[in-house]
Chains A and B, each alone.
Chain A
Amino acid sequence: MAEIAGTMTGSQLEFARRVDATSTNQRALDQFLRGVERRALRMAELACGSRDDALDVVQDAMCAFVKNYAAKPEPDWAPLFHRVLDSRLNDFHRRRTVRNRWLAVFERKEDDDTLDPIEQAQDLQDPGPLLRLAGSEAGKALDAALKALPLRQRQAFLLRMWEGFDVATTARVMQCSEGSVKTHLSRALAALRRALEDHQ
């Protein structure tokens, strides 16, 4: 190996060092992306409504993440990846809103602010609606309830409850204040609970 290194020029040695460092980083990146890709796809699918669009969004997010944040420390990767994904989902949502604006005249969604705060209060003693549903039926009910949520509320729920991020990290991912995260999450929980109760 030393002989091989001896015959290399300076630029070749530098290149070899870069290849070695990059391959180590690539293995870590590959492992990280393998770990998050399925959940990212699920999040994107809930936001986009179609698997093809979701796969495009996830690939786009992966490319942007690798391009911009691969050199960041590994512990920061998860929030950064979800920040990129959240940004891509917002873009997708915005484009679709513009495309389908004319439809809004015919089907106007209920405004977030019209929720009754009393309804949002949770009863921790009640086991909850999903426990009374079983198997695929519960999965379908949850899927429908999540799809019906506004994008920001759904993201707050998935990032806080499913990904397990704390409020501060979720706020950084969603690029909003911690107060907004708490508001979005509270409304999401109330809406989910109500939707799943209605499903019964």
Chain B
Amino acid sequence: MNGNQHSNDRPAWINRSTQLLDDSVRDLDAVTLSRLNRARQTALAQQRPHAPRVWLLPAGLASACAMLLAVVVWQPHHRSETQPSAAPVAVDDGDSEETSTEFYQNLEFYAWLDAQNKGGDG
């Protein structure tokens, strides 16, 4: 199935055309032939089988173990760092400001109370 099958029942100029086409591909320059060879090798390289990657399973397991270990080690440490910050937040609520304002407004009463206590003690 190529151009060399020139049929006798077709016009002579067509046979001559195909002959000229055959001639044109016969005399390709070295650079073109080299590039064709490289193209062919590139195409064929796609088909070569890759060696079975037996190391992938142990490597994956080791990575998973390392990540698990890192999470286990890091998690308690992280928790101990965050816990102390919870106490001031609990104490420092909106009531403290209200309480101190109330204290200053009733300062005279507390002074009298203090004086009464001292008088009682003495």
Contacts and interface: CB of A to CB of B under 8 A. Distances in A.
Interface string B82-119: 00000000000000000000000000000000000000
B25 A139 contact: no
B103 to A, nearest CB: 82
Contacts of B42: 59, 62-63
Contact of B1 (A15, A63, A164): A164
B3 A127 contact: no
A128 B11 contact: yes
A29 interface: yes
Interface residues of B, number: 35
A25 B47 contact: yes
Given A34-B40, A42-B25, A62-B40, A130 B17 contact: yes
A18 B48 CA distance: 9
A1 interface: no
Main secondary structure of the interface of A (DSSP, over half): helix
Contacts of A106: none
Nearest to B35: A55
Interface string A10-30: 011011001100100110011
A162 B60 CA distance: 55
Interface in B16-75: 16-18, 20-21, 23-26, 28, 32, 35-36, 39-40, 42-44, 46-49, 51-52, 54
A163 B1 contact: yes
Contact of A70 (B16, B47, B49): B47
Given A15-B51, A163-B3, A164-B2, A38 B13 contact: no
B21 A59 contact: no
Interface centre among B1, B43, B49 (most CB of A within 10 A): B43
A131 B16 contact: yes
Listed from nearest, the 3 A-B pairs whose CB atoms lie closest are A128-B13, A59-B39, A62-B43
17 contacts: A30-B40, A33-B43, A34-B40, A38-B28, A41-B36, A42-B21, A55-B32, A59-B42, A62-B39, A66-B47, A78-B1, A124-B11, A126-B11, A138-B20, A142-B20, A164-B1, A164-B3
